[in-house]
Structures are given as structure tokens and as C-alpha cells.
Amino acid sequence: MERTNPATGETTETYDEHDDGQVEDRLSRAESTFETFRDWSVAERETKLATVATLLRDRTAEYAELMTREMGKPIAQAEAEVEKCAWVCDHYAEHAGRYLQDERHPSPPGSAVKTVYEPLGPVLAIMPWNFPFWQAFRFAAPYVAAGNVGLLKHASNVPGCALAIEDVFRDAGFPDGAFQTLLIPSDRVETILSDPRVKAATLTGSGPAGEAVAATAGENLKKTVLELGGSDPYVVLDDADIEAAATTGAWARNLNGGQSCIAAKRFVVHDAVYDAFIERFVAAVESLTVGDPTDRDTDVGPQARQDLMEGIHEQVTESVDAGATVLTGGEPLDREGAYYPPTVLADVPRGCPVDAEEVFGPVAAVYRVFDEEAAIEKANDTEFGLGASVWTNDLDRGERVAGRIDAGCTYINELVKSDPRVPFGGVKQSGYGRELAEAGIKEFVNRKTVWRQRAEKSDENEVPTE
């Protein structure tokens, strides 16, 4: 596995893949570690997570620079990502015990019935490169807090990040097998997921990758959580604060170089405010600084790989050929590195690539609609259903419109974001299951019913029922 700096195109380091023997050692260690780790109290696991949070903050500069070198994230955004990882550890260090406390149920006299939440075992996580620390910690913090052990198959272009995450759990005092990285290519995932020692899997990635993981897991009757692609609508109604909508929209589309499942991608704007929004939106997009990701003044760095940048440009070119109009951007920058400028397309034809596909880069598609009903219809005109934003000064109206948009999360007068305190996930082709908050920690547990009955002589004629 090669670590290539996308800002320069230079290969800076090479990592050896784990061979079959090394993978076997890690699977065996995960299984044996789980047998003792599952007996740790929730309080013990919470204490170790708090230590992870402290180590992350102590190592912010180191880990941020690592992300920037491997996938091109602007350094200030990389530092914010490390802090967010510490936050999710703080959250479960404080709340895991409450989320997992026994649930009592009504029962007959002389009995007590409850549900307890027990860990499943080793969980395989297949994670992407776009948020190389956050994606892993979003899975690791709740699942380890619940007593599971983690196996991380990270994207092949961020091996340094993957190994650093393994280090921080070990350095915090977790057992060696509680969180391990597998440096393997994607074509070896099926074999590992089929292994009986792996009890469940979670994936954040593309639709085809999700289908493959779900198929293998289904054949082996294993639970999965999938967070797949998104083509989030950003709906601007006629009574919206246009300045706020345009300014936030520019950031919502271009944060992390536009490489985000929950980035605003399709801007659905009411005709009454369309011209005013376009003027301010294009100006806000053009004000973003594209440049060296190690420079603190940079807003948008390079795309994570040269081939990814070329794929984005192909989607733009085909859409323009189909009739879309370029308002700004639209051509790779003439400089070293995988740089693509923030781009805005209008007059976007239905079915062209930027309309029908997920565009995983800094390209915004803008649509003019003539009423609220048309805005809702266009927002739902996608196979995806991850997030959505609605902009209006009437919050009741905003909630009503948000309620009719098919998405896992909807935000009114705000960009879509993940937050440890609330469940996160999608519908339709954006996947299933939820991460974060109480819902997330309970995805990979055994909800076990425990019935306690006072010992009494039973009626010999009593017939048990199911």
C-alpha cells in the first residue's frame, strides 16, 4: 500500500499488506480478547475511552498532519476532525452506561423480567478515506464501549491513519486485541467477513461495496449497518434568509473538498429567490481559497487521488455536454496535484451525471423550482436518502417540508452534520441502520431477555406456551 500525497503526487511511504498469517493472528487475538474484554464493566470501558479522548487531543497536530499528507484535507479541518473524534469518545465515556442499562418489563407476581444488552464479539468495519479518523471513531467508540472488539479494514490510501488509530486504543490501556487494523485490499474482505469469528460488520462507502458486504453477511446470517452514498438536497424556499443560505451552502458543498456523503449536492431553489441566491452563492463559492492543504488559509485542498479528480471532471463534462451551464469552475486547475476548483452548474438536465449520480467532489448542481411542491418533488428525485437541508424563516413550514423529504436526517436552516448526540444514517440506497447516540451503541448487541422466577412448586397440569 502506497501513501501518495495528493497535493504533490509524490509517493512518500509504502506499507506491506498483512499476509494470511498476520490476518489469522489478528482474528485469533480478537476472538480471545473478546472472551475477557466482554466481562469488563461498562465503567471500566468508559474510563479507557476518556483516556483515548485525552490522547487524541494531545496528538492533534501529529494526527492532523498525517491526514493532510495522506488524503489532502486542509490542516485546520484535519485538526477539527481529531477534536470531533475526542468528542465522540467523551460522549460514550459519559453516556454508555446509561444507554446500556438494563430495561425492566412488567411481569407476574414472583417474577422479574428485564432486557440486558450484551456484546456480540469481533465487529468488522470497512471504512473510507474521506474522514479517515472520524469514520473509524464513529464506529469504534460506541461498539468498544458496548464490549465488542473492532477490526478495521480502512481505505488503502490512508494506511498511516489506520495504524495510528490502532495505536491510540492500545496506548489508552485497551487490550491489544480490542481494536486492530487489517492492512488488506478490498478483495479479501469477503473471506474475513465469512469467518465465524467475525460476528457483524459495518461499512461506510459506495453502493456496490454495501451490496457486496450485505450479500456476504446475509449468507452467513450476520448483522450489518451500512452508510452509503448521498446526493443531499439543499432546499431554499421563497422566504429563506438568502445571505445565510448562500454562505452556508457554499461551505456545505465544499467542506473537505466536497468529499462527503452528507455534503449538500443538489441545490433546489424557489424561483422567487433564485437569481438573488445564485448571485450570492457563486460569490461565496468563488471566495473560497483553493491551495496547499498545509496552509491554514486554505479552504479547499486537492482531491484525495488523481483518478478521483478525473472522475469528477468526467461527470461535469458529460453534464455540460447534456446541457448544463457552468457558472464557475468546471476545469481541473493547472497546477501540480489533484486539484479541482469549486464548481457550480445550473440548467442541469434530469438524468445527466451530476443530477442522477453522487458527485464526490466540489461540484454543486442548482435547480430552479416554482413552488414548494415542486421543491419537495425535486428533493426526492434521487435514489439516495441520506440527509437534507431546508431553508425558510417559517420553522413550522420548514419542519413540514422536511417531513416530506425522504432522508435519514433533515436539518432546517443548517447544513447536514453528524453529531454523537443524535442517530445518524440513511434510507433508500443510502443504506440502513443507525450510528451514534443510543441507537448506534445498540446496533451490535444481543438484546437478551432475562426472566427470574421465584422457585415454587409448579402445577403439574400446566401447559407451557410459546
On whether the CB atoms of residues 444 and 143 are closer than 8 A, the answer is yes
Catalytic residue among 85, 89, 161, 261: 261
Query: Is the model's pLDDT at 465 over the cut of 90?
Result: no
User: Exposure pattern of 373-382 as b/e (b: 16+ CB <10 Å)?
Assistant: eebbebbeeb
**Cα separation of the two ends of the chain:** 54
CB atoms closer than 10 angstroms to residue 258: 24
pLDDT classification of 458: cutoffs 50, 70, 90: low
Do 157 and 130 lie in one domain? The reply is yes
Domain annotation covers residue 455: no
Between strands 445-453 and 111-119, the pairing is antiparallel
Catalytic residue among 227, 357, 358, 435: 227
Do 404 and 434 lie in one domain? The reply is no
Do 244 and 262 lie in one domain? The reply is yes
Question: H/E element holding 328?
Answer: strand 325-328
Can 261 be counted among the known catalytic residues? yes
Q: CA of 330: how far to CAs of 40, 257, 319, 320, 364, in Å?
A: 54, 14, 11, 9, 11
- The span from the CA of 20 to the CA of 6, in Å, is 30
C-alpha cell at 436: 451514534
Domain annotation covers residue 462: no
C-alpha cell at 9: 503526487
Do 222 and 238 lie in one domain? The reply is no
Query: Is the model's pLDDT at 462 over the cut of 80?
Result: no
Domain annotation covers residue 420: no
On whether the CB atoms of residues 441 and 433 are closer than 8 A, the answer is no
Do 142 and 43 lie in one domain? The reply is yes
pLDDT classification of 314: cutoffs 50, 70, 90: very high
Question: Helix 42-58 to helix 75-99 angle, to the nearest 10 degrees?
Answer: 170
Residue 196 sits at the vertex; the CA angle it makes with 450 and 29, to the nearest 5 degrees, is: 95
Question: What is the Cα 175 distance to its own chain's centre?
Answer: 26
Question: H/E element holding 215?
Answer: helix 207-219
Domain annotation covers residue 418: no
Range of the domain at 276: 232-412
What's the CATH code of the domain at 341?
3.40.309.10
- The span from the CA of 46 to the CA of 40, in Å, is 10
383's CB contacts (< 8 A; 6+ apart) are: 231, 428, 429
Query: Is the model's pLDDT at 463 over the cut of 70?
Result: no
Q: Which of 69, 78, 75, 79 is nearest to 8 (CA)?
A: 69
pTM, two decimals, is: 0.96
Domain annotation covers residue 442: yes
The dihedral formed by the CA atoms of 373, 376, 379 and 383, expressed in degrees to the nearest 10: -110
Supply the pLDDT for residue 3: 87
Do 322 and 390 lie in one domain? The reply is yes
- The span from the CA of 65 to the CA of 83, in Å, is 14
pLDDT classification of 50: cutoffs 50, 70, 90: very high
Do 220 and 310 lie in one domain? The reply is no
- The span from the CA of 364 to the CA of 316, in Å, is 10
- Flag the least confident range among 38-42, 228-232, 452-456: 452-456
C-alpha cell at 124: 468488522
Supply the pLDDT for residue 182: 98
Do 237 and 260 lie in one domain? The reply is yes
458's CB contacts (< 8 A; 6+ apart) are: none
Give me the phi and psi of 391, to 5 degrees please: -115, 120
Using one digit for the tens of pLDDT, what is the confidence trace for 76-101?
Answer: 999 999 999 999 999 999 999 999 99
Query: Is the model's pLDDT at 459 over the cut of 80?
Result: no
- The span from the CA of 179 to the CA of 169, in Å, is 7
Q: How many domains does the chain have?
A: 2
Do 224 and 372 lie in one domain? The reply is no
On whether the CB atoms of residues 66 and 161 are closer than 8 A, the answer is yes
C-alpha cell at 292: 496547499
- The span from the CA of 49 to the CA of 301, in Å, is 32
Supply the pLDDT for residue 455: 87
Domain annotation covers residue 461: no
Supply the pLDDT for residue 2: 85
Supply the pLDDT for residue 12: 84
Using one digit for the tens of pLDDT, what is the confidence trace for 21-42?
Answer: 999 999 999 999 999 999 999 9
Using one digit for the tens of pLDDT, what is the confidence trace for 137-177?
Answer: 999 999 999 999 999 999 999 999 999 999 999 999 999 99
What's the CATH code of the domain at 80?
3.40.605.10
Average pLDDT over residues 411-429: 98
Query: Is the model's pLDDT at 464 over the cut of 80?
Result: no
Q: Which of 175, 107, 146, 81 is nearest to 451 (CA)?
A: 107
Average model confidence (pLDDT) across the chain: 97
Handedness of CA 387, 201, 439, 132 (dihedral sign): negative
Amino acid (one-letter) located at 99: Y
Do 280 and 382 lie in one domain? The reply is yes
Do 436 and 289 lie in one domain? The reply is no
**Percentage of the chain surpassing pLDDT 70?**
98
Question: Helix 134-145 to helix 159-171 angle, to the nearest 10 degrees?
Answer: 30
Supply the pLDDT for residue 242: 98
Domain annotation covers residue 406: yes
Query: Is the model's pLDDT at 420 over the cut of 60?
Result: yes
- The 8-class DSSP code of residue 290 comes to B
Do 121 and 255 lie in one domain? The reply is no
193's CB contacts (< 8 A; 6+ apart) are: 124, 201, 213, 216, 217, 220, 222
Question: What is the Cα 59 distance to its own chain's centre?
Answer: 22
Domain annotation covers residue 236: yes
Average pLDDT over residues 213-218: 98
Question: H/E element holding 306?
Answer: helix 306-321
Question: H/E element holding 219?
Answer: helix 207-219
Can 227 be counted among the known catalytic residues? yes
